[in-house]
Amino acid sequence: MIALPGLRRAGRTDYLLLALLSLQWSTAYLFIDLAADDVPPATISAVRNLGGAIALLTLARILGERFPRDWRMLAVFPVTGFLGSFLPFVLLGRAAQSVDSGLIAILVGFMPLAAFIAAHLLTEDEKLTGRRLLGIMVGMAGIVWLVGPQALESLGVGSEAQMIGQFAALGSALSWAVGNLVARRISGVPLVTAAACVLLGGSLYAVPASLVFDAPWTLELSDTAIIGLVGLTFWTSASASIVFVRLVTTIGATFVAWSNFVNPVLGVIWGALFLGEALPLRAFLVLGLILLGIAVAQLPLAAIFRRRPPGGAKP
């Protein structure tokens, strides 16, 4: 078993932060869509990682936070950046070349299950219980309903390129799951500095890839692309990383993983509101189903919201 910092039970503030994290990460679909016409994927990753890191390091300096000096702790960040920020997007790019987006969404939806299995095998305090497994199944059913069961017809069949793409999508889910678990090792580092280091870890791979393959100095950016890059840098990377580190180090990797069920649904809603895409009614029904799955897995919610008498005495 991996020796990891201890966790506590999630409270109301933590559920609100999880909702905020889902809002932040889900808008990445919108901002990437705005930037993608003018900016290649590696450069998008480089800008959001390095730009977000610089913004957070500046804030950490203003707050008087100290940069970590323990090399064992510093070694965590390149691993977290590779598994959680760089490799999954490379794999998703490969999957998108030969696999329909609906099937990709379903395969990436395996991330919470992968996170629970990895945590169950490697930790003492994030075990996969029957109730949590039921919640995961409910959430995955919601994702299948959102994209349509017909997307599953191509699962496990097709050309060699399609099969490789399917494995790549599954690999991205596994990479995110293990990356979140590695991020649990972060301890003794001020919150904003830790979030900055996570993004710096991702930029170690994204920036060289951008320089080698994209020649970013030759790109011509439209106003729309700039808006997309700014949104990715400050909203879905910098500020979201603070929330991510706060939750993964105090509540756990599996708690953060629930956002992967909510993100695709919110992405559909943002696309309808801001890009004029279709908004099926089932998106809201699916969101309710996924929230039900989270509630089942995270019970007893009643104890979290139950009011106590004055003085803190238990009823």
pLDDT at 101: 64
Question: For residue 312, is pLDDT > 50?
Answer: no
pLDDT in tens, 117-166: 888 888 888 888 888 888 888 888 888 887 777 766 666 666 777 788 88
Q: pLDDT band at residue 266, thresholds of 50, 70 and 90?
A: confident
Q: Domain ranges in the chain?
A: 12-303
The answer to whether the Cα torsion of 23, 120, 168, 219 is positive or negative is positive
> Reduced to 3 states, what is the DSSP secondary structure of residue 84?
helix
Query: Percent helix, strand, coil in the chain (nearest 5)?
Result: 75, 0, 25
Listed in sequence order, the residues at least 6 apart from 125 whose beta carbon sits closer than 8 Å to its beta carbon are 4, 6, 7, 252
Distance CA 164, CA 95 (A): 7
Q: Residues 81-104: what's their mean pLDDT? A: 80
Residue range 26-54: mean pLDDT, rounded: 89
Is 50 exceeded by the pLDDT of residue 11?
yes
Q: What is the pLDDT of residue 202?
A: 94
Whole-number pLDDT of residue 24: 93
pLDDT band at 304 (very low <50, low <70, confident <90, very high): very low
Whether residue 302 is predicted with pLDDT greater than 50 in this model: the reply is no
Q: What is the mean pLDDT of the chain?
A: 85
Which pLDDT belongs to residue 102? 65
Mind giving me the DSSP string for 200-249?
HHHHHHHHHHHHHHT-GGG----HHHHHHHHHIIIIIIIIHHHHHHHHHH
| The dihedral formed by the CA atoms of 27, 255, 107 and 182, expressed in degrees to the nearest 10 | 100
**pLDDT score for 294:** 85
| pLDDT value of residue 292 | 86
- pLDDT reported for residue 157: 62
- Residue range 86-105: average pLDDT? 77
How would you classify residue 59: left for phi > 0, otherwise alpha for psi between -120 and 50, otherwise beta? Answer: alpha
Q: How many CA atoms lie within 13 A of 103 on its CB side?
A: 23
Residue 57 pLDDT level (bands cut at 50, 70, 90):
very high
Nearest-angstrom CA–CA distance, 129 and 254: 12
Q: How sure is the predictor about 300, in pLDDT bands with cuts at 50, 70 and 90?
A: low
Average pLDDT over residues 6-10: 82
Q: What are 193-223's pLDDT values in tens digits?
A: 999 999 999 999 999 999 999 999 999 999 9
For residues 288 and 103, the model is more confident at 288
Give the residue, 275 or 30, on which the prediction is more confident: 30
Q: Is pLDDT of 264 > 60?
A: yes
Query: What global pTM score does this model have?
Result: 0.85
